[in-house]
Structure 1
Amino acid sequence: MPILTNILQKAGKESKSDLSQRKQKTPLRRYRPGFRRTPTKDTKEPAVQAKNKDGALSLQKEKSYGAYGVIVRPYLSEKALRHKDQGKYVFEVFPGATKQDIIHALQEAYGVQIEKVNRIKVQNRKVRIRRTNQVGTKVRYDKCVVTLKKGQSIEILPQ
């Protein structure tokens, strides 16, 4: 059994510094399914250098996608349409979008001034499929209620 004795002797010779180095290793990152990266908080468009016809350098703004990465769609329900008279509109947004991202995206997309934003996280829920009697899940999503300043409106449904 010389193999076991060699292993046991090596295990006993480990110094305290080796043990402390082992503890200092960084933990592994875990994959979170369904997690999307949020758009960058800095919504200013970076400037790009371009040459004019004269050969001089000038600064041009890069194209930004604006509301594309934040707003999914307007949320249409009876309750949401009732609040339209009060200047409140409901939108479905990507998970992780901050209130500031939502404000900038709506200002860019609709050209309105926003007074207040309330975010709501709608959780998963189990649903039953009628014919097969199986259980499924409705996927979670985020929505926001946006209050516009007085005198402003957004046309979501054509009248």
Structure 2
Amino acid sequence: MSIFNKFKKIAGPEGKPKTTSKSVVKEKKAEAVEPAEVKPEKRTGATSTGTKAKISDTAWRILKNPRVSEKSALLTEANQYVFNVFPKANKIEIKRAVEKLYNVTVERVRVINIPPKKRRLGRTEGFRKGLKTGYRKAIVALKKGQTIDIMPH
């Protein structure tokens, strides 16, 4: 039964619990080594993390890619650009991401959710993973005179 007594605290003559020999050795070692004084770090300049800094880190997550199609080419003439975006992104996040990445002023953002196409096999109906999956796209209108070069020449 000595295995189980190893972890128990044994009461001494004064009623205080005794500690086992291993813990006494650890306490003596801890007392022998005096910790050196740690100086607090001084900040030379205050750095503020504003929304611009957070957006620059997450802008690539919000905008997946520009959507190149016949309709988006026609909208480009009207100073509107189409992007595939992250499904949970809202209009404000999309606006900030486009402004930060392309250095333009966004006037309006419209968002369209395209549902996935359903497939059937007998009675069962559902969605296939890679075939006609749903997505979310954003149509971004820019200020007059500003353009985005989506297709580099």
Does residue 59 in structure 1 map to residue 53 in structure 2? Answer: no
Provide the C-alpha distance between the structure 2 equivalents of 1:71 and 1:56, rounded to a whole number of angstroms: 35
- SS of 1:138's partner is coil
2:64 counterpart letter in structure 1: V
Alignment partner of 2:152 out of 142, 152, 158: 158
Provide the C-alpha distance between the structure 2 equivalents of 1:126 and 1:118, rounded to a whole number of angstroms: 25
Following superposition, the deviation at residue 126 of structure 1 comes to 3.7
Provide the C-alpha distance between the structure 2 equivalents of 1:61 and 1:154, rounded to a whole number of angstroms: 30
Normalised by the size of structure 1, how large is the TM-score? 0.56
In structure 2, what is the equivalent of residue 37 of structure 1?
A: none
Following superposition, the deviation at residue 66 of structure 1 comes to 3.5
2:147 counterpart letter in structure 1: S
Alignment partner of 1:120 out of 112, 135, 141: 112
- SS of 2:47's partner is strand
Following superposition, the deviation at residue 68 of structure 1 comes to 1.4
Alignment partner of 2:142 out of 144, 148, 158: 148
Bigger Rg over Cα: 2
Following superposition, the deviation at residue 61 of structure 1 comes to 4.5
Unaligned 5+ residue runs, structure 1?
Answer: 1-50, 129-134
Higher strand share: 1
Normalised by the size of structure 2, how large is the TM-score? 0.59
Provide the C-alpha distance between the structure 2 equivalents of 1:157 and 1:61, rounded to a whole number of angstroms: 36
Following superposition, the deviation at residue 127 of structure 1 comes to 6.3
In structure 1, what is the equivalent of residue 71 of structure 2?
A: 79
Identity of aligned residues (%): 34
Aligned residue runs from structure 1 range 7-46, under 5 A: none
1:156 counterpart letter in structure 2: I
Provide the C-alpha distance between the structure 2 equivalents of 1:127 and 1:154, rounded to a whole number of angstroms: 37
